Structure 1
Amino acid sequence: MIKKIIFYFILCLFFSESSQAQKEKDSLFMNLNLKFDENPLELNKTYVSKYKDTLQINLVKFYISDIQIEYANKTFFLQSNSHYLIDIENQSSLKIPICKTENKIVNKITFNIGIDSLTNVSGALSGDLDPTKGMYWAWQSGYINMKIEGKSNSCKTRKNEFQFHIGGYLKPNYAMREVVLFPKSNNLDIVVNFASFFDKIQLSETNSVMIPGKKAMELANLSAKMFYIE
């Protein structure tokens, strides 16, 4: 009897894994590869920017929202009201499910970095938008679109820390940014290169952005340029 139960359990497990594998095969995913130059981004690893700033990153979180796919036949798929919190410490968050493949060729993918104004004023939300995720300031300022924290000897701050909390949903400080990419195949492997962000700022001068404003807008522009397809 026990052998039959074990056999049945193993059989169920096999079919469950096979079903999941088939589901992934039939689905379109956005795969985010976090990098610093040509190397995978690792927390607390030492990197050097073009400004010769030696730095370590210890926190990376950002939102991807409203993913839209344009196919080669000019049809579209839009994930409206979709919000994904990307967290380097949660590797499963780097793989975003979009839709079924439908045997169509992807021509263009469009998405936002951050949270739109309407969602910001919609009240307390759950899931990845739950304020307990640490990505919400207050109703006056709304959600933080992207957080990058770490330390560098170039920063004349407490414990040589830098903190970039990029957000803002009210004009003229509307910090959400749109990214448009043109994949070479239906494998949507998207690089997010943090070197391009730090290569444009001097940490001795810019090391703490914690509220919406002009500086957050400038960093939001830099954050959009981090995304590309190789």
Structure 2
Amino acid sequence: MTKKNWLALLVLFTFQFYAQSNDTLRLNFKVNFDKFPLELNKKFITTKKDTVTLTTFKCYISNIEIQYSDKTVFKQKNSYHLIDLENPNSFQIPLTKKNDKQIARVIFNIGIDSLTSTAGALSGDLDPTKGMYWAWQSGYINMKIEGNSPSCNTRKNEFQFHIGGYLQPYYAIRKKVFTVNQSATKHINIGIDASIFFAEINLAKTNSVMIPGKIAMELADISAKMFYLE
């Protein structure tokens, strides 16, 4: 094949990629700290006047569902997505082909359901190498927030929040339901504000949660407040 033909093929594939991308309804996530984009290894000031530096921010989004105003519903198959601040590509989740319908609600879970947690090691975003799987007894970590703060009386002033649990009474998955009221020709934009998490905890007292339990349940409730419709 000549160089000219290769270039023609490259142009064709590029055009098809962008055409498909623009024709697909997406769930777009943006991670912030108050009004500023959240960046790893950058200092932020909380409402409690703590200085925090995040080194890890990951969370699972699962079981995404789109409800239209005509009562039809789109449920994404194999709907497990890891939002990772180190991977900007993870912020965009393709859903389905755009259409002229009006979206009424978008629904998703923060975390991984009990059935999937007990299914054993899986692939893709559920691969244990992603660092979000404890073991079959505890399942997946729904949200992981790590970093450091002078307010933490710990080794290297570190804090570690691994929020999860799939067994009652410590079932830490949380459901979010947003009323959207927009055309399905537009993407759905969801914000995640990490400052809300730190506004509700005392880092001097609570700075390490690594197992399912009562405190993890409380942190799961707080983490659900971080999500908002833009």
Q: Deviations over 1:110-149 (max 9, x none)?
A: 0001000011111221111111111111111111011000
Secondary structure at the counterpart of residue 121 of structure 2: coil
2:102 equivalent in structure 1: 105
1:171 equivalent in structure 2: 168
Secondary structure at the counterpart of residue 183 of structure 1: strand
2:126 equivalent in structure 1: 129
> Taking every aligned residue pair, what percent have the same amino acid on both sides?
54
2-side partners of 1:217 and 1:102: how far apart?
A: 38
Range with bigger deviation, 78-87 or 88-97 = 78-87
Secondary structure at the counterpart of residue 82 of structure 2: strand
1:199 equivalent in structure 2: 199
Matched, 1:81 2:78: yes
Q: Displacement, 1:153? A: 0.1
Range with bigger deviation, 98-107 or 167-176 = 98-107
Secondary structure at the counterpart of residue 160 of structure 2: strand
Runs of 4+, deviation exceeding 6 Å: none
TM superposition score normalised by structure 2: 0.96
1:212 equivalent in structure 2: 212
2-side partners of 1:25 and 1:126: how far apart?
A: 27
Q: Displacement, 1:172? A: 0.3
2:112 equivalent in structure 1: 115
Q: Name structure 2 gaps, 5 residues minimum.
A: none
2-side partners of 1:161 and 1:29: how far apart?
A: 35
Q: Displacement, 1:11? A: 1.1
Q: Name structure 1 gaps, 5 residues minimum.
A: none
Matched, 1:61 2:58: yes
1:71 equivalent in structure 2: 68
Among 16, 20, 38, the alignment partner of 2:17 is: 20
Q: What letter is aligned with 2:151?
A: S
Secondary structure at the counterpart of residue 81 of structure 1: coil
TM superposition score normalised by structure 1: 0.96
